[in-house]
Structure 1
Amino acid sequence: MSGIDTDLYDDRDRGLLTARAGGAAGEIVGYLQYFVLDEPAPALVAAHTVVDRAHEGKGIAGSLARELYALAARETLAVAPLCSFVAAWAERHPGEAPAAPAELLAAAEAALAAEPEKW
């Protein structure tokens, strides 16, 4: 990341990947909201990415997207990018972000429609 020193933290119970300035107790400067999909295959579904206005343009959202894909890879999970930012980031980084099958994306969209609070 350029311009700001941040650390990334995964809170799986809340479905939140956060970027914090100043370590674990520091200010949240961005986050990526996601949920876990079980069927048709286990996946992390990126639902929404937000960066504090004062920290936009510093690579925070891209770092969050990269970390979500790295997390999924470590756990042998797919990523279904419903968040428009994460989907665009994945298209620009195909080596780091394997494309999700259409069936998985459709299941993720259906899960989000059934439980809109996931977003």
Structure 2
Amino acid sequence: MADPEIRDDREKGRLEAYVDGMFAGHVAYFTLDFDPAALVPVHTIVEPMFEGKGVASSLVRSFYAMAAREGVPVVPLCPYAAKWAQRHPDEAPVPPAELVQEAERQLTRHPGL
């Protein structure tokens, strides 16, 4: 399978993957309203026909690369993204505890994020 094409839809809070023009999955995220700001992935979802083909990993790797380009940390509240970060510490710096706490607070206050 070819590497997925990754598209950021910041307005919708979705980093989307496409394989051969077909939607393959996405990372749902929000931008932490805090100083410093951060990007917070909350769900990684892959379409059934693309499961087990590296789409989720490509999405999360791209998410971390996007955050690095923007100079902001990632607070992985998504279980898949958190596990991926543990396996790839060279690509996924651990966020400060205060950012994690604030991201959890914002998600609790606004569960639709």
TM-score (ref. length: structure 1):
0.90
Contact 1:32 1:47 (8 Å CA) reproduced: yes
Q: Output aligned runs, 1:40-119, within 5 Å.
A: 40-118=35-113
Question: Following the alignment from structure 2 to structure 1, what is the Cα–Cα distance between the partners of residues 64 and 17?
Answer: 15
Q: Does 1:12 align with 2:19?
A: no
In 2 relative to 1, CA 95–7 (structure 1 residues): closer, same or farther, beyond 3 Å? same
% same residue:
48
For the residues of structure 2 that align with 1:5 and 1:14, how far apart are their CA atoms?
23
Q: Is the 8 A contact 1:9 1:19 kept in 2?
A: yes
Q: Contact 1:4/1:58 (CA < 8 Å) preserved in 2?
A: no
Q: Offset at 1:4?
A: 4.3
Indicate conservation of the 8 Å contact 2:4/2:58, yes or no: no
Paired residues in the alignment total 113
Residue ranges of structure 1 left out of the alignment (5+ in a row): none
Secondary structure, counterpart of 2:84 in structure 1: helix
Runs of 4+ in 1 over 3 A off after TM superposition: none
Instruction: Tell me, in whole angstroms, the C-alpha distance in 2 between the residues paired with 1:60 and 1:38.
Output: 28
Q: Relative to structure 2, which stretch is displaced further, 101-110 or 76-85? A: 101-110
| C-alpha deviation, 1:16, in angstroms | 0.4
